[in-house]
Structure 1
Amino acid sequence: MLHIAAGRSEEQKHALLVNVTQAIAASLDAPLESIRVVIQEVPETHWAAGGVTLAERRAAKKS
C-alpha cells in the first residue's frame, strides 16, 4: 500500500502504479499479474511531520 498526499492527477497516480509494479516485479522476480498495489490518498491536513501539517507547509511556502 502506498500512502501519498492527496492532490495528484489521475495520470500521475497511474504512472506511479505502473512504475511501482514494475519495480516490485524486477526486484522480486515476480510475474506482473501477481502484484497488487493500492494507493491511499491522505488529506494534506492529516499528514504531518514535526507537528506541522503538509497543508501548513505548503501555505507557508506560498507566502
Structure 2
Amino acid sequence: MPIVTIQITREGSDPARDAVTAAEKAALIKGASQLLFDVLGKPLDATFVVIEEVPLENWGMGGLPVAEYRRRRRSAQAD
C-alpha cells in the first residue's frame, strides 16, 4: 500500500491564484497513482495520495523565504 505525499504551495501554478483547483488535485492524484502502477505495478485502488497545500511563508529556497528569493531573482534578471 504505497502512500505518496505531494507538497505544494497554496498559490498553485499561477501566482495570481491563491489555491490549487480541485481539477488540478485530481490530476495529481491520478498521475501519481498511474506512475506507481506503471513503474512498480502497484494497484490503483491500493495507492493513497495526500496533497498538502503549504502557505507560501512556510517555504524557503536558497536560504531565504520563497517570497524574498523570488524578489531577488526578479531583480537580478532585470539587471
Unaligned runs of 5+ in 1: none
Aligned-CA RMSD value? 1.9
Give, in whole Å, the separation in 2 of the partners of 1:24 and 1:30: 6
Other-structure match for 2:33: 21
Matched length? 62
Larger Rg: 2
- TM (norm. structure 1) is 0.78
Counterpart residue type for residue 25 of structure 1: F
Q: Which has the higher helix share?
A: 1
Contact 2:59 2:65 in 1 (8 A): yes
Other-structure match for 1:45: 57
Unaligned runs of 5+ in 2: 13-19
Other-structure match for 1:2: 6
Counterpart residue type for residue 26 of structure 1: D
- TM (norm. structure 2) is 0.65
Percent sequence identity is 33
Give, in whole Å, the separation in 2 of the partners of 1:56 and 1:17: 31
